[in-house]
Amino acid sequence: AGTLVLVCSLATAYIAHFQAPKFYHQLRNKSVARFNVVTTASFGLASVVFICSMLFGYLTFGQHCQGNILQNYSAKDNLADITRAGMTFAVAFGFPIVFTGLRDSTLEVLGLSGARRRVFYTSTFLLLVPIVILASFAKNLGFANGLIGAILGSLTTIAFPAILCYLTYEAEGKTFASRSEGTVVAGGVLF
């Protein structure tokens, strides 16, 4: 069971696809090859950081690791306090990147992507309030991270490719593939 929790948590660690178009657009001297290099290097560096964090956390605390590894350290540990401040900094400056993707996608789905500032600010407020309320009651970050990873990881790797395949077939018709080929691809992805 612990391995499944780890897989779900890792799925959360690599969910950045919603910002990929924005990252590509902001890339200096953009090309697909250059974007692939940047993406590979970024995911490689992230993998090294995640593996080291997991390994050293497990080697330090063994089976007693908590969802937020910093909770394993004493409240009187000065180095842990510095790390907690660093995590606060990372969350404070990382959250807007994730939130921007949520807000922009929500406005796009609702057909309000070019709306006035009033809609922009109102949507920001209406999305932030429930997020802050839920975050205020969250006590187990490991459970929250695993749940989000399980849901978003499953959607990203299983459901969305099949849905996109079906929608592409509907839009392109026989120039894309026959219905049976699309069903085989979608079925293969789902199972």
pLDDT tens digit sequence for 5-25: 666 666 666 666 666 777 788
pLDDT tens digit sequence for 86-106: 888 887 887 787 788 788 888
d(CA 74, CA 81): 9
Q: What is the enclosing helix (H) or strand (E) of 22?
A: helix 20-26
Average pLDDT over residues 24-50: 85
> CA nearest 80: which of 94, 69, 64, 89?
69
The secondary structure of 142-166 as a DSSP string is: HHHHHHHHHHHHHIIIIIHHHHHHH
- pLDDT of residue 190 exceeding 60: no
pLDDT-wise least confident of 4-8, 49-53, 64-68: 4-8
d(CA 154, CA 11): 9
d(CA 71, CA 165): 44
Q: Which pLDDT does position 82 carry in this prediction?
A: 92
| Confidence bin at 58 (pLDDT 50/70/90) | confident
pLDDT tens digit sequence for 142-169: 676 667 767 777 777 677 777 777 777 7
d(CA 158, CA 185): 11
| Confidence bin at 27 (pLDDT 50/70/90) | confident
pTM of the model: 0.53
